[in-house]
Structure 1
Amino acid sequence: MTTTGEDRATAPTGPWWWTRWRGAALDGGLALVSAVECGLEGVPFAREAGIPTALGVVFGVLAGSVLLVRRRRPVAVVLVVIAVTPAQMGLLMGLVGLYTLAAYEVPRRVVAVLAGMTLLATMIVTFLQVRQDAARADLTVGNWFVPFAAVTTSLGLTAPPVLLGLYVRARRRLMESLRERADSLERELQLLAERAEERAEWARREERTRIAREMHDVVAHRVSLMVVHAAALQAVARKDPEKAVKNAALVGDMGRQALAELREMLGVLRSTEGQVPAPRGERDAGERGDVPLAAVGAAAAAAASRAAGDAAEGPGLSELDELIGQSVAAGTAVELSVEGEARAYAPVVERTAYRVVQEALTNVHKHAAGARTYVRLAHRSSEIAVQVENEPPSGAGAGSAAGLPSGGNGLVGMRERVVALGGVFVSGPTEAGGFRVSAVIPAS
């Protein structure tokens, strides 16, 4: 896991308030140099002030040592600088203190006030010192020289460290913002990878559901007709040999059709399995970390789903006559009525309408064998409507399908197919005691 900018800022590894040992060593070195400088400058200060030299040296050493806490108390360091300015000591302490004040998270108003105070104090001290030096040396200078020297000296000692500190503060904030943005992007990439894995899992579930629907449609209808014909064959085997031979031929034809459709579906599954692995370039990129493996998996799953759907287009509306003819041959009276002008639809629309009729007829064979059934197909401007309705089964017909099992997934599969295309699906018993299945499927 990558350490964020906040973690880096709040993870000290140095002593006391220093985040690093390197920073502690730097501040210690600066404080030592400043203490030596101020101690040496304390000698002339003691002479001019009329105090013992040792006291002036101790005062200078203590004042210069304040740089040790410059990161912790930058305001206090600058206040000490202002306080010792009249003693003409603390050049290094002033430069480092103003830089630290501007570079660290001190309010800009405070920085401006303290920098202004330092500038004013330095200007006054320099003005007095230059005038005294000129008087002692009996130098004749213009009236402009002393103020000019005071202003330029004070600006030279104050402005550069403040401007440098402000620049470092702005750069530090920029780096922190870039760090935070990188951390945010990393978190977003992790979320995208998780979502890609979820999408891949969803695509796999959808593919399994689609395959289950296709298998159910192929097997249930064909096998149901085979069972009906086998029952009829058993009933007429001795009484009408010719009809028994005809029924046996129908059972064989339907079995071969079921095997052919199953073989086609298994072929699609094998071709899909061959397409699941990502191309070599994507696999290598995923192993190197350039592309999230989850995203590659999601793309592969989506490609597999599309390939399977495109390869197994399945039957269309042009095969409805053959489908109804098989039910008629099984002894079920089925009437087909078509309204509107027939036209070409998308393969998935035609396949869905065909499967609705097929599954509805399968349910008729299972639960109302021999009942008169009406299949209505309506071609409309922007949709296609399908309705399959059967009358109540007769006593003899109802008993002929007693041996057919029912898993209860037929209506669910039809509803899923139609709703997936944005259509409407309704099913239920009629007032006359039959059953009706209706579906309206958008044409595009």
Structure 2
Amino acid sequence: MTTTRPARPAAADALLTAAVAALTAVVLPAVVLLGAASGETVPGTGATAVLTAVCVVQCLPLLVRRSRPVACLLLVALLQVAVVAASPDDVGARGAAPLLAAYAVGSVLPDRSAARAVLAALVLELVGTLAVTVPTGGVVTGLVGVVGGAVTYIAAALVGAHVATRRRYAELERRRAEEAVAAQEDRVRSAVAEVRAGMARELHDIAAHHLSAMVVQATAASRLVERDPAAAREGLLAIRAQGRRTLEDLRMLVGVLRDPDSAEDGAPVPGLGVLDGLLEQARALGDDVVVLRTGSVGATAGLAPLADVTAYRAVQEALSNARQHAPGAPVVVDLARVDDRVVVSVENERAPGPGASASGRRAGAGVGLLGMRERVQLVGGRLDVGPTPAGGWRVRVELPAEDVEQDARQEGER
């Protein structure tokens, strides 16, 4: 009933009532017949039919066991008096309805309210039983039944209270987990939004300052081409210098956004040209790093400044992640030139000792991976991260590159 219950509690209670009533109507006569076959004193056919009918009617209050738990329990206790009255003096009968009603009271009501309801049901059943059994002389049998009923009521109510406590605890844990996931998602979204907003503001400032100056200089140079070629040449040289300053500022921008310390004293943001220094630092920290350079000579040449910084930071982040999640595992850094793209791959093997698995790496991926993806997308590249068939982890970055040899030929022709 718990795993397949209908959406409405009332419908579930109706199904439970029907099932208990049907079982009572079948089981009680069968028990009487088995007792008669074994030679025990049992009610006659008519008395058995009356007793069965009363026990079936006692199941009907279970229809409101969750919506009106106190009323359900009191009605069941009152009908238990009718069951005692319908039973022979030396026969005690008790159906499943009292147990289910007391369980509902314990699972729905607070502890004190449930205790008061159980006490009221016991008093009601005791008074009613005495009123029925005193005239017939079956007081002892009636009191024994009341004692058994007390055990039934109290035990069922305690079980219901325990189950309700477990359910509340499970619900609290579920809500805490949902809140933790929502908070983590909010932090990630906020971090990404902050990075995007900062990059947008800085890029706008750089473009507004440098490019507007270059447009003005280009306009002035175009007017001097025929009248004063020397002045026009000086203007073009100034435009080239301004363009270089723009690229330098863009390199500084990435360093300020991602690693403010790297921009101290105007130091340029490093690129793949100083990758050996980063690898030496990693080896000094105990990392087992191997560098492969596949493809043609100068495979990483031709990267734009922002793409060069992106490749360097991708390697830096991948080495940091490998050190954190797979300490001591060998790491292979592969730099390659494939057509018009530079491919940077950082792959680590499984950690030699206890460490995070691939699934754990995915669960722990946070702002660092998102920041790497933002960098790569900004320069028109592609980022692939995930586990390797051997159980390790790989970060692969593809970045667009210029044709250096063609550019050199064009510069020589000019």
Classify the TM-score, shorter chain.
0.3 to 0.5
TM-score normalised by structure 1 residue count: 0.44
TM-score normalised by structure 2 residue count: 0.47
